[in-house]
Structure 1
């Protein structure tokens, strides 16, 4: 029986999915990509009697990080990100993406992880999978025992992350998805940074990067 559940809030100016993943028994939770509107995230945490333990970041673009510092300060928790994303996270002019974005944000993670690093939260082992392509330091977080993958802006339902922004690469995102994500068990639930949930099985049949 699965021991984790998740809540999703669509937040910020471009509708980013912020996930609060929690243990059904002890109510501990992690927050994945706190996009914006920290007060709304905190309200949901309070209403569901949850106990935040960490923040996971899939990449450094502005629409995934606006609420990080408020939540870190409120709950006294650590922020985890890919080591390859350090420069983007810490450069507010780079991670804003577009000139019209005024929500400039510098985020310094507490721990920068290497590909394959394992971290333990919610009575689960999470593996940080480096999946460059959308950005140089894009990553996913995978829990094998729960068959959950937080895919950020790497893999979407019937789509994948854009590669026309600085640090993007069509070759790298194809390698990340075909060479890594499509090698996961087909039953794996994929929770992306935008849009609805999917599975590895479904994407191997319907994604533009699926084998012909």
Structure 2
């Protein structure tokens, strides 16, 4: 992770992890899942003299998207999401923002596909389509930095819930087994909630996987 610095900011009532993927030399930054507290995140960006390049969404649930519009407009940056969650992003009843007393409708600038390779802020980022928590959930893998942004697919000792619309336990278990457990043990995992872990640790101790 020589060129990469990761800052974690838990936001909103569900303490959703918003991540800044910062390139140390240029301060260019990719924002992952700005779920709330957008003005506070903007203060952090300005304090660290960061240059946001894009917003990547792991999925379209409200607690991961409520800060998107503010930051997109503040920095004129594109929003990325997997194509299978693009419609969920547009409708408040699907993205569950009505549960938070909001009515959020967003349109992604870029709809992603499985295994698509992105170059953002100088980082090579691979899209891993991991449905199960939502129909279009995905993870972002940075192979050169040995880092995975796992959203609500994989957690420390757990996996995502599947009881919301579009959820599927069989799909989630398949996603984790086929897409994530094939990554190197030393891959650092940064989940949508809670503390970080590694692929090796989850392969050994996560009861949902063993």
Quote the residue 1:8 is aligned against.
8
The residue correspondences of 1:1-212 to structure 2 (distance < 5 A) are 2-96=2-96, 100-211=99-210
Cα deviation for residue 78 of structure 1 reads: 0.5
Distance 1:67 1:166 in 2: 22
Name the SS for the 2:127 alignment partner: strand
Report if the CA contact (8 A) 1:62-1:104 is conserved.
no
Distance 2:2 2:51 in 1: 19
TM-score (norm 1): 0.96
Cα deviation for residue 208 of structure 1 reads: 1.9
Distance 1:195 1:207 in 2: 15
Report if the CA contact (8 A) 1:138-1:154 is conserved.
yes
Cα displacement string for residues 129-160 of structure 1 (whole angstroms, at most 9, x for unaligned residues): 10000000000000100011000000000001
Between 101-110 and 53-62, report the one with greater CA deviation.
101-110
Name the SS for the 2:131 alignment partner: coil
Distance 1:14 1:30 in 2: 22
The RMSD of aligned alpha carbons is: 1.1
Where has structure 1 moved over 3 Å in runs of 4 or more? none
Between 190-199 and 5-14, report the one with greater CA deviation.
5-14
Name the SS for the 1:196 alignment partner: coil
Name the SS for the 2:150 alignment partner: strand
Unaligned runs of 5+ in 2: none
Distance 2:143 2:7 in 1: 19
> How many residue pairs are counted as aligned between the two chains?
210
TM-score (norm 2): 0.97
Cα deviation for residue 100 of structure 1 reads: 4.0
Cα displacement string for residues 89-143 of structure 1 (whole angstroms, at most 9, x for unaligned residues): 111111116x642122111110001111111012221011100000000000001
Unaligned runs of 5+ in 1: none
Cα displacement string for residues 155-206 of structure 1 (whole angstroms, at most 9, x for unaligned residues): 0000010011111111000000011100001100100000000000000011
Cα displacement string for residues 14-46 of structure 1 (whole angstroms, at most 9, x for unaligned residues): 110000110011100000000111111001111
